[in-house]
Homo-oligomer: A and B are copies of this chain.
Amino acid sequence: MSLFKKKISEPTLRRLPVYLNLLRRIQQEGRPTVSAPEIAKQVNQDASQVIKDLSVTGIKGKTRVGYHLPELIEALEQFLGFNRTNEAFLVGTGPMGKALVFLQKKQLQGLKIVAAFDLRPVKSGNSIGHINIHDFKYLEELIPKLNIRIAVLTVPSELAQKTTDSLVGFGIRAIWNLSSAILDVPDHVIVQNTPLVDDISVLLHKLRNHDSE
Provide the bound-state CA to CA distance between A203 and B22, in Å: 21
Which residue, A101, A102, A212, has most C-beta atoms of chain B within 10 A?
Answer: A102
In the assembly, how many copies of this chain are there? 2
Provide the bound-state CA to CA distance between A71 and B176, in Å: 33
A30, CB-defined interface residue at 8 Å: no
Partner of A103, one of B16, B44, B196: B196
Cβ contacts A101-128/B at 8 Å (1 or 0 each): 1110011111100000000000000000
- Please give the number of chain A residues whose Cβ is less than 8 angstroms from any Cβ of chain B in the complex: 63
What's the minimum C-beta distance from A15 to chain B, rounded to whole angstroms?
A: 8
Binds B, one of A46-54, A58-66, A134-142, A186-194: A186-194
Provide the bound-state CA to CA distance between A174 and B202, in Å: 11
Which residue, A13, A98, A198, A203, has most C-beta atoms of chain B within 10 A?
Answer: A203
Provide the bound-state CA to CA distance between A127 and B176, in Å: 30
Q: Is there contact, CB below 8 Å, between B182 and A192? A: no
Provide the bound-state CA to CA distance between A180 and B204, in Å: 21
